[in-house]
């Protein structure tokens, strides 16, 4: 592991994108969203995912020139076509639009079809909270998780993001409905560690904490077993129906071909219905109670987003940790 200054990371990603031929303003934003993911400690969807993104742009799965556009509108609710463009740019544009609709109507909803992997979902939660509104968004994915009772992947791990603005640090939940991502399983395996809790089945159908056994069986667990399985189905249904886009079973299961995702972006402006009320003050009070009197037997109770903020500060100060071989690869793309 080595550390690279944030500005250097950002600039390198930007150069690589401009070399690819993306329009400058779009390339700058796309690079920033990738760089911020690594800066915030979500390494799997920052620099580490960048080479796959580039190869998908080259293969044409991602159209780097396509701009998302509205297809239909009904006041606070809009349906957009992502035109298989850049996933993080499409998602950022749609949350931006949902925020504008929320300022106008109290709440706003944009349903987006035909888009690509949005990379780090939390990006759009922080975006909403930075704008002073509450944000909820989710995406479907390719089939990568067996429903409860099945052994083949037939639902997606469909990340869900919920964000509430708070002056001393936004509260942002960014979770997939699988208990552990394949990236997390690989990390535990590489460190020679067991999972902290059961994470899936082995090939014999037994629940296990051995990460490699789950990678082999391709049977990770949904959160809450049958509950997360049902939740994944509902998120796919609502996204597909509202966006008029593909549902999980239609999406190619190979990472490098995963495309035409459906996503939902909701924003709520609490000021519209409660002028003068501070969402931040309420969040502050609730977080104090959530944390409780002090560290328990298992250490401090952390609220969603707390660790992100701590990592961000550390990485801005010391540099962003990068995998040397991936960093070299991206430097070559930028050169």
Enumerate residues 140-159 that contact a second copy by CB under 8 A.
147-152, 154-155
Enumerate residues 312-331 that contact a second copy by CB under 8 A.
none
Alpha-carbon span 126 to 264, nearest angstrom:
16
Least distance to a second copy, CB of residue 253, Å: 13
Least distance to a second copy, CB of residue 166, Å: 9
209 contributes a contact to a second copy by CB under 8 A: no
Least distance to a second copy, CB of residue 236, Å: 7
71-108 burial: b if 16+ Cβ within 10 Å, else e: eeeeebbbbbbbbbbbbbbbbbbbbbbbbbbbbebebb
Least distance to a second copy, CB of residue 131, Å: 15
CB under 8 A: which stretch of 21-29, 38-46, 52-60, 170-178 binds a second copy?
170-178
User: Closest Cα to residue 91, out of 147, 161, 154?
Assistant: 161
286 contributes a contact to a second copy by CB under 8 A: yes
User: Closest Cα to residue 161, out of 239, 246, 59, 248?
Assistant: 239
60 contributes a contact to a second copy by CB under 8 A: no
CB under 8 A: which stretch of 11-19, 85-93, 191-199, 323-331 binds a second copy?
191-199
Which residues fall within 8 angstroms of residue 220, CB to CB, at 6 or more apart?
145, 157, 178, 179, 180, 182, 185, 199, 200, 214
Alpha-carbon span 198 to 195, nearest angstrom:
7
Cα 326 to chain centroid, rounded: 21
User: Closest Cα to residue 42, out of 31, 53, 54, 34?
Assistant: 34
65 is catalytic: no
Chain position carrying tokens 């609220």 = 303
69 contributes a contact to a second copy by CB under 8 A: no
C-alpha atoms less than 13 angstroms from C-alpha of 53 in its C-beta half-sphere: 32
Q: Report the residue number, 26 or 219, with the smaller CB distance to a second copy.
A: 219
Site size toward a second copy (CB under 8 A) is 79
Enumerate residues 101-130 that contact a second copy by CB under 8 A.
105-107, 109, 111
Which of 68, 156, 169, 240 lies at the binding interface for a second copy (CB under 8 A)? 240
Among candidate residues 45, 92, 117, 170, the one labeled active-site is 45
Least distance to a second copy, CB of residue 225, Å: 6
296 contributes a contact to a second copy by CB under 8 A: yes
Q: Report the residue number, 18 or 71, with the smaller CB distance to a second copy.
A: 71
Residues 128 and 134 sit within 8 Å (Cβ to Cβ)? yes
Enumerate residues 3-32 that contact a second copy by CB under 8 A.
none
CB under 8 A: which stretch of 11-19, 24-32, 61-69, 237-245 binds a second copy?
237-245
Q: Report the residue number, 121 or 304, with the smaller CB distance to a second copy.
A: 304
Q: What is the DSSP letter of 196?
A: S
Q: Report the residue number, 65 or 227, with the smaller CB distance to a second copy.
A: 227
- Catalytic positions are 45
């Amino acid at each position: 592991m080595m550390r690279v200054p944030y500005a250097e990371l950002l600039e390198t990603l930007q150069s690589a994108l401009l070399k690819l031929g993306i329009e400058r303003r779009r390339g700058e934003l796309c690079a920033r969203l990738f760089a911020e993911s690594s800066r915030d400690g979500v390494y799997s969807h920052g620099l580490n995912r960048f080479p796959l993104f580039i190869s998908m742009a080259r293969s044409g799965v991602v159209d780097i020139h396509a701009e998302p556009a509205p297809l239909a509108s009904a006041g606070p609710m809009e349906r957009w076509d992502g035109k298989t463009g850049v996933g993080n740019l499409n998602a950022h544009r749609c949350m931006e639009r949902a925020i504008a609709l929320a300022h106008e109507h109290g709440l706003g909803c944009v349903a987006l079809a035909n888009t690509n992997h949005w990379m780090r979902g939390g990006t759009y939660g922080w975006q909403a909270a930075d704008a002073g509104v509450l944000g909820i968004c989710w995406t479907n994915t390719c089939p990568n998780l067996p429903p409860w009772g099945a052994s083949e992947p037939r639902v997606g791990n469909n990340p869900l993001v919920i964000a509430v603005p708070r002056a001393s640090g936004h509260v942002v939940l960014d979770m997939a409905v699988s208990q552990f991502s394949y990236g997390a399983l690989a990390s535990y395996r590489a460190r020679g560690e067991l999972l902290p809790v059961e994470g899936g089945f082995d090939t014999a159908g037994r629940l296990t904490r051995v990460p490699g056994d789950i990678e082999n069986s391709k049977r990770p667990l949904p959160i809450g077993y049958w509950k997360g399985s049902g939740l994944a189905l509902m998120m796919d249904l609502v996204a597909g129906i509202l966006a008029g886009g593909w549902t999980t079973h239609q999406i190619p299961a190979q990472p490098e071909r995963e495309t035409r995702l459906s996503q939902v972006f909701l924003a709520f402006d609490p000021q519209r219905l409660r002028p003068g009320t501070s969402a931040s003050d309420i969040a502050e009070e609730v977080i104090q109670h959530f944390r409780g009197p002090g560290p328990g037997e298992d250490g401090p109770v952390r609220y969603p987003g707390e660790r992100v903020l701590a990592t961000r500060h550390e990485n801005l100060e010391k540099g962003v940790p990068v995998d040397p071989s991936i960093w070299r690869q991206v430097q070559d793309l930028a050169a």
